[in-house]
Chains A and B, each alone.
Chain A
């Protein structure tokens, strides 16, 4: 039965990581028009353990996307220089939406595993009845 409890812990770590990822995607989308904003990237890593132990996923440090910020032409903007250009953000909405979709799919898969472990545990307890 400790295997089933471990299953729930593993799935909970997966859900936590995917919702953290979704949080960063939401930040990026909210700041898509913020001048000078660099999109945040979060990496996943597996917790190391001996033999069968370990394996939970956790988020690593947040990194900034170092690709070049696009120059946007808008002379009316107070931030624009003498050529009428200012630096926007390097957020691409298509990439962020695709990322959010994948995060949702992974989250639901983890939730399914959690639910299945819970049902297997309660089936075990049913044995005690009658």
Chain B
């Protein structure tokens, strides 16, 4: 039932996207001193999320997308071409990554709050507390 209710699918997709992007940020920060390492990122949630359409089949618009049963295709990590490289080839900016992780924290919290409140609405409609 939770798969067919759009609010639950979207909240779950948002939380999973935040977790996936957090993993990429952690990878960048772990390699902040590695020579030749280029900063990576994944596509934003708005780009990868597809709402459920009853009669539309699953489409893969890019070969990098994995077909998933739910609305979220897990995006591949892409090297960020705009990031400027230091003389040793490293293009990770610590400040950018930390700010990104703060945003992801909020995104994750928002997804869980939406999920929790939708769950309580469901409970109320069932007549339970």
**Residue ranges of A at the interface with B (Cβ–Cβ < 8 Å):** 1, 3-4, 6-8, 10-11, 13-14, 17-18, 21, 43-46, 51-52, 55-57, 102, 105-106, 109-110, 112-114, 116-117, 119-120, 123-124, 126-127
Contact = CB atoms under 8 A, between A and B. Distances in A.
Contacts of B26: 6-8, 10-11, 14, 110, 113-114, 117
Nearest to A51: B76
Contact of A127 (B33, B101, B112): B112
Main secondary structure of the interface of A (DSSP, over half): helix
B76 A4 contact: no
Given A10-B27, A113-B30, A116-B105, 15 more contacts: A3-B19, A7-B23, A7-B26, A10-B26, A10-B30, A13-B30, A14-B32, A44-B34, A102-B33, A106-B94, A110-B30, A113-B25, A117-B26, A127-B112, A127-B119
Interface range for B: 20 to 34
Contact of B23 (A6, A102, A109): A6
A10 B20 CA distance: 13
Interface string B87-127: 00000001001100100010011001001100100000000
A3 B108 contact: no
A79 B11 CA distance: 72
Nearest to B108: A120
Closest 6 CB pairs of A and B: A14-B30, A55-B27, A3-B19, A7-B26, A44-B34, A10-B26
A7 B34 contact: no
Nearest to A52: B77
Interface in B5-62: 15-16, 18-20, 22-23, 25-27, 29-35, 37
Question: In the complex, which of the residues A8, A55, A102 has the most CB atoms of chain B within 10 Å of its own CB atom?
Answer: A55
B19 A113 contact: no
Contact of B22 (A13, A18, A120): A120
A3 B34 contact: no
Given A46-B37, A113-B29, A120-B108, A127 B16 contact: no
A40 to B, nearest CB: 16
Contacts of B20: 3
